[in-house]
């Protein structure tokens, strides 16, 4: 498929802008586990996800991580080109959770598009606002929701993404998503198991009472 089928506002670009985007963008394969952007590392340009799944997160000096949001097919990773936005002063990392394929839109190309196209500039602002809203939602969850509720919500989110009640993820991976310690996740999952909500095995978690998990998450 061509980038024209994935770029959200393709129909609002001029012919010259479409040509610029088509001629300068390129496909990049990203294996699962690859860190695409590590904190304050160099910008690689805008990423448009063709397939796979990316994770945007921040990490503390001690190495503890917390997921800000996920990126799925057709999503744009704006912060892979964060050096374009001089007012952004935080270090955000991006990694591939699954084998992924992206279009890379070089930084100078996207900057040129935002300067020449009101549609692209407006879309960029909308995307920034959307990501900011996701981060604010996360802050609210951390401040006002207990960790057991956040864990239940995470399990439901994972189940939806994988379209399965059997989740192939470790306690360490879950802790990185939630910004907590592995021991805390293990303790809570054992509690969930004692309540008949999940079944635990090495490297996987099976949701056995989805309605119970949903009640807890709410």
CATH T-level topology, domain 3-143: Jelly Rolls (2.60.120)
Which pair of tokens denotes residue 172? Answer: 């360490």
Q: How far apart are CA 133 and CA 111, in angstroms?
A: 23
Q: How far apart are CA 122 and CA 134, in angstroms?
A: 19
How does pLDDT run along the chain (218 residues), one tens digit per residue? 789 999 999 999 999 999 999 999 999 999 999 998 886 656 778 899 999 999 999 888 888 899 999 999 999 988 776 666 665 666 788 999 999 999 999 989 998 999 999 999 999 999 989 988 998 989 988 888 999 999 999 999 999 999 999 999 999 999 999 999 999 999 999 999 999 999 999 889 999 999 999 999 98
**pTM surpassing 0.85?**
no
Q: For the CA atoms of 15, 21, 23, 27, what is the dihedral angle to 10 degrees?
A: -150
Q: Where are the domains of the chain?
A: 3-143, 145-217
Q: Domain spanning 145-217 has what CATH number?
A: 1.10.10.10
* Other CB atoms within 10 A of residue 124 CB: 21
Q: How far apart are CA 46 and CA 110, in angstroms?
A: 7
């Amino acid at each position: 498929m061509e980038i024209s089928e994935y770029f959200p506002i393709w129909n609002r670009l001029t012919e010259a802008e479409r040509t610029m985007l088509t001629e300068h963008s390129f496909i990049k394969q990203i294996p699962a586990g690859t860190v695409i952007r590590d904190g304050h590392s160099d910008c690689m340009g805008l990423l448009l996800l063709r397939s796979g799944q990316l994770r945007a997160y921040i990490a503390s000096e001690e190495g503890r991580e917390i997921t800000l949001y996920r990126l799925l097919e057709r999503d744009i990773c704006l912060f892979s080109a964060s050096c374009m936005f001089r007012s952004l002063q935080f270090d955000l990392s991006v990694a591939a959770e699954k084998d992924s394929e992206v279009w890379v839109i070089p930084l100078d190309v996207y900057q040129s598009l935002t300067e020449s196209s009101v549609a692209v500039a407006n879309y960029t602002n909308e995307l920034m606002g959307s990501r900011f809203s996701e981060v604010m939602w996360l802050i609210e969850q951390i401040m006002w929701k207990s960790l057991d509720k956040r864990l239940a919500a995470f399990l439901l989110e994972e189940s939806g993404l994988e379209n399965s009640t059997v989740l192939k993820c470790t306690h360490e991976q879950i802790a990185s998503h939630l910004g907590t310690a592995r021991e805390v996740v293990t303790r809570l999952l054992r509690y969930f198991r004692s309540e008949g909500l999940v079944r635990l095995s090495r490297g996987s978690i099976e949701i056995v009472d989805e309605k119970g998990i949903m009640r807890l998450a709410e």
